[in-house]
Structure 1
Amino acid sequence: MEKIIEESKQGESLVLEQKPENTKKLFIESYGCQMNFSDSEIVASILHGQGYNTTQNLEDADLVLVNTCSIRDKAEQTVRKRLEKYNAVKSINPGMKVGVLGCMAERLKSKFLEEEKIVDLVVGPDAYKDLPNLLAEVEEGRDAINVILSKEETYGDISPVRLNSNGVTAFVSITRGCDNMCTFCVVPFTRGRERSRDPQSIMEEIADLHAKNFKEITLLGQNVDSYLWYGGGLKKDYEKASDMQKATAVDFAQLLDMAATAYPKMRFRFSTSNPQDMHEEVLHVIAKHHNVCKYIHLPVQSGSTRILKEMNRQHTREEYMALIDKIRAIIPNCAISQDMITGFPTETEQDHQDTLSLMEYVNYDYGFMFAYSERPGTLAARKLEDDVPEEVKKRRLTEVVAMQRQLSLNCTEAFVGQTVEVLIEKESHRSDAHWSGRNSQNTVAVFPKEHYKTGDFVMVRIDSCTSATLIGEAIGYSERMQ
């Protein structure tokens, strides 16, 4: 739940520039969070060098890969249906190989390979560099598996192929894994313990994107705020580092400051943050740089301190509210979004009311809200009875969504009459005569195209809005264009 899941992107098949000398065809689909889509770019880069070009036609593929998610039951069920579809095609094209990547791969390896026999290879999130060896195993008629979790792997030495890119925005992964053992979450078990990527490789990747005229970077990780590079290794082993390693260590505030300072005409975002790891220094870096977006995704999951303790969230309601107060004081124009779970085991009506009152207190710009679904392998599944009736979960979710819709409308209405900087990302999906982009606060704005083009930073006067979208007119280029 710590990760933003964009419903519109689920199941997107990925395409990259074709190499004339490549003779094999790869079909790769991604489900889940931004990290999975970023990982698919790494996989495509590795296989591009192994003779594979991508295709969007499943029937033509020599190799079909699905990058999976275990965060929600819905995502797992969708992937299972896709695997049925792949195997129906495979009966017509028996030479086609099918593989599962990512979080479900680690969790359901024996089911997929041995019991159900529905795939040829299973590859965990830390084993993508082993794909050439695994494919050789498959070609020789053997099932292939590598789901070993690494203490070191960050893929910092692989330049990702930008798949389905708009050429304007890109993700750069800076951490992998997670040390926060939230009782509802499978990530520490499917992606391993937290480790950070060498800042030099991060800055080199940003430099490459800058040279290719990308305009906005999102620094990505399960928990970006706890980024800490001290020469490699797990974050939990930092206490064993030498004095020299500690003296030269780079934390997230320093990394963000380095990137924003080096590329003042690029915009920077980051996701996702955990409340207990968001330090004040990061807030001052956001406030200091005009090109660090004034937006923080800050999952809370519940407004009840009692439920937060059951979730092992490492913060209380009061501590979260104090952090919100600090953000508002240091970055007055900062947008804040949430993740929220309704119906967690033992949640009472009072706990639910605490969630609604917290939402009002924060005045979230938007959120990602889910009814609790028990995930196998989590501490909650082992220790807590899923005792909130489904209809109660859904009713509470409906109330949370209704509250957020009103709060979102309040936030967008506050922009009406203002002029905001917007980065043009794409054509509006509702009108080919309008551009769509986002302002610093991550709110979508649409406006007539006129003579502007994708990648332009423009100043847009906001004339009206919906709960999710600002509607206005461009009045000129931003100073960033000069």
Structure 2
Amino acid sequence: MAMIETPIGLKEHDESRQGEAVMLKGNQEEQHNRKLYIESYGCQMNFADSEIVASILLDKGFTTTADYKEADVVFINTCSIRENAEQRVRNRLKEFEAAKNKKPGMIVGVLGCMAERLKSKFLEEEKLVDVVVGPDAYRDLPNLIEKVDDGTRAVNVLLSREETYADISPVRLNTNGITAFISIMRGCDNMCSFCVVPFTRGRERSRDPHSIVREAQELFAAGYREVTLLGQNVDSYKWTPQATEGTADQKPVNFAQLLVKVAQVSPLLRVRFSTSHPKDITDEVLYSMAKYDNICNYIHLPVQSGNSRILELMNRTYDRSWYIDRIQAIRTIIPDCGISTDVITGFCSETEEEHQDTLSIMDYVQYDYAYMFAYSERPGTLAAKRYADDIPEDIKKRRLTEVVNKQREHSLKRLQEQVGKVHNVLIEGFSKRSDKDYCGRNDRNAMVVFPVNTKYKIGDYVQVLGESCTSATLIGKIID
């Protein structure tokens, strides 16, 4: 799944949040109740999980604060994808520790992927936290907090083969009231050699499609106009009804069919999804996207490397030609589709020629934007066990710079193609730079900035003529 970092070509996107404090819109009048503060790092799934945690604790009477120094319970929802993310979390925990020293009784907890992987270090060696909770154990949070109140450090990082939190209505955090995430599945069965997700989030399981559609309906009724369906690999979504009474007329549902079900909630509800996997994305999904105007023409399709040998070492289960075939299918079935990707430079034993293969596949696809990283070995992964991390850091960084520079060129070109065209844009809010400009995304997920027109408000769809662009933003004006 794409990390929440600012990708090249997408500066003003919601995904640029990193380490952002999130605040519930709960009952702020119950000031006698304990105050909760949650801070989230990493992928979209972590932000969605924080909304689950908020819902669970709101039901137990918690209120919230946007200032961790005022909180009685402080949680940081963590990511283990890269080493620098872990270091940021450690630094943040030390700040929380300082606040805790000034406020006896404050509880500090770590949630999410890093909690599962580094539980012993956090609890015993560094003693930075009171409670550690893995992604499948959030229902146990009230009980764990009680244990800490009784003077015992608490931990629950058990993984589940069933937990999907399908019955919990998330509390929307820091929401614009227009866009929202819907988690459709949890875990991952892919064993990419560089990735910790299968170890920190467990096996793949799909959520009941009826609960997904119901959540989308409720969001639309509440004024939301865009949902993003989330999963580590949405294309492998497959729900099969249990052999219980009342399910005889129900049939299995795959991802293409789920997309259609959500799209049919309303033509005014935009549908996006993330993340796709090249080995699983089907023509059925692409034809479903082409059929429904409110399924956005945008796909995040991580390539990681353009070289087949490196892809095999990464255990990506596809090669260069397979990936190109999927790109050709997208371009044929959805000609105006935006495509983004993930790229890793300097993976174990990568040669200069193999690095050039990555640059060449970028030239072939010409991605709208990309999330780009130098390889960072993660303890416990298959790559850490099998391969030497043998590419010097200066070479990794030089290759990353070449990838970033190339993506800047492609991002600019892809936006230039959209200048002079009229785009259907959902107004998501005001531009970060000026309250005299609105911003929103078009069908291809490009961020569009345009002057405020008092005839329209946040949450409206408007027709915007693209007049110019930067490498990250399309600039235009509303036309009636």
TM (normalized to structure 1)? 0.95
The alignment status of 1:18 with 2:26, answered yes or no, reads yes
Q: Secondary structure of the residue that 1:420 maps to in structure 2?
A: strand
Aligned residue for 2:265? Answer: 262
- CA distance 1:51–1:247, shift in 2 (3 Å): closer
| Range with bigger deviation, 20-29 or 353-362 | 20-29
Q: How many residues align?
A: 466
Q: Distance in 1 between matches of 2:402 and 2:25?
A: 46
Matched, 1:318 2:321: yes
Indicate yes or no: 2:459 matched with 1:455: yes
SS of the equivalent of 1:222 reads coil
Structure 2 partner of 1:65: 75
SS at match of 1:59: helix
Within 5 Å, which residues of 2 pair with 1:74-473?
A: 74-231=84-241, 248-451=251-454, 452-473=456-477
Asked if 2 retains the 8 angstrom alpha-carbon contact of 1:434 and 1:447, the reply is yes
Residues of 2 paired with 1:294 and 1:411: CA distance? 14
Q: Tell me, yes or no, if the aligned pair for 2:5 and 2:371 is still in contact at 8 Å.
A: no
1:262 aligned counterpart, secondary structure: coil
- Which amino acid in 2 is paired with 1:310? L
Q: Per-residue deviation at 1:114?
A: 1.5
1:4 pairs with 2:7: no
Using the TM superposition, give the Cα deviation of residue 247 of structure 1 relative to its aligned residue in structure 2, in angstroms: 7.6
Q: CA deviation at 1:21?
A: 3.3
Residues 9-55 of structure 1 deviation map (CA, whole Å, 9 limit, x = unaligned): 11111112231336110111000000000000000111111121110
Shift of 1:246: 12
- Displacement of 1:6 after TM fit? 2.9
Deviation at 1:4, TM superposition (A): 3.1
CA contact (8 A) 2:345 2:373 kept: yes
TM-superposed CA distance for 1:58, in Å, is 1.4
Q: Which runs of 5+ in 1 are unaligned?
A: 233-239, 477-482
1:30 pairs with 34, 40, 53, which one?
40
Q: Deviations over 1:246-291 (max 9, x none)?
A: 9811000000011112211110000000000101100000000000
Task: Tell whether the 8 Å contact from 2:216 to 2:265 is kept in structure 1 after alignment.
Answer: no
Offset of residue 76 of structure 1: 0.4
Length-normalised TM-score, structure 2: 0.95
Please give the per-residue CA displacement for 1:186-237, whole angstroms capped at 9, x wherever unaligned.
00000001000001110111111011010000000111111000036xxxxx
Name the CA distance, whole Å, in 2 between partners of 1:360 and 1:113. 47
For 1:90 and 1:135, the matched residues in 2 are separated by 16
Paired amino acid for 1:18: G
Shift of the alpha carbon at 1:5? 1.8
Is the Cα–Cα contact under 8 Å of residues 37 and 71 in structure 2 kept in the other structure? yes
CA–CA separation in structure 2 for the residues paired with 1:167 and 1:342: 37
Query: How many Å separate the matches in 2 of 1:279 and 1:18?
Result: 41
Q: Which aligned runs of 4 or more in structure 1 are off by greater than 2 angstroms?
A: 244-247
How has the CA–CA distance of structure 1 residues 393 and 249 changed in structure 2, closer, same or farther, with 3 Å as cutoff? same
Answer whether contact 1:168 1:425 (CA < 8 A) is retained. yes
**2: CA distance between counterparts of 1:97 and 1:247?**
45
What CA deviation, in whole Å up to 9, does each residue of 1:328-363 have, x standing for no partner? 110010111010000000000010000011001111
Distance 1:182 1:247 in 2: 33
Amino acid at match of 1:229: W
Aligned with 2:479 (options 464, 472, 475): 475
Separation in structure 2 between the aligned mates of residue 203 and residue 246 of structure 1, nearest angstrom: 18
| AA at the equivalent of 1:254 | Q
Q: 1:14, 1:54 within 8 Å by CA — same for their partners in 2?
A: no
Q: Which residue of 1 aligns with 2:66?
A: 56
CA displacement, residues 374-411 of structure 1 (integer Å, 9 cap, x when unaligned): 11111111111000010000000000011110011110
Please tell me whether the aligned partners of residues 307 and 358 of structure 2 are also in contact (alpha carbons under 8 angstroms): yes
Q: Which runs of 5+ in 2 are unaligned?
A: 7-15
Separation in 1 of the partners of 2:138 and 2:132? 10
Counterpart-to-counterpart distance in 2, 1:277 and 1:250: 15
Distance 1:391 1:116 in 2: 31
**Which residue identity does 1:186 align to in structure 2?**
V
CA contact (8 A) 2:426 2:441 kept: yes
Aligned amino acid, residue 21 of structure 2: S
SS of the residue aligned with 2:384?
Answer: helix
Aligned to 1:236: none
Contact 1:347–1:388 (Cα < 8 Å) also in 2: yes
Cα distance change of structure 1 residues 402 and 219 upon mapping to structure 2, 3 Å threshold: same
Q: In the TM superposition, what is the alpha-carbon distance from 1:115 to its structure 2 partner?
A: 1.7
Instruction: Report the Cα distance in structure 2 between the residues aligned to 1:249 and 1:92, rounded to whole angstroms.
Output: 55
Q: Is the 8 A contact 1:230 1:245 kept in 2?
A: no
The separation in 2 between residues aligned to 1:258 and 1:362, in whole angstroms, is 30
Identical amino acids, percent of aligned pairs:
61
Higher relative contact order (CA 8 A, sep 6+): 2
CA distance in 1, matches of 2:60, 2:313: 47
2:95 maps to a residue whose letter is: K
Contact 1:154 1:176 in 2 (8 A): yes
C-alpha separation in 2, matches of 1:348 and 1:321: 21
Q: Secondary structure of 2:151's partner?
A: coil
Q: Distance in 2 between matches of 1:158 and 1:140?
A: 28
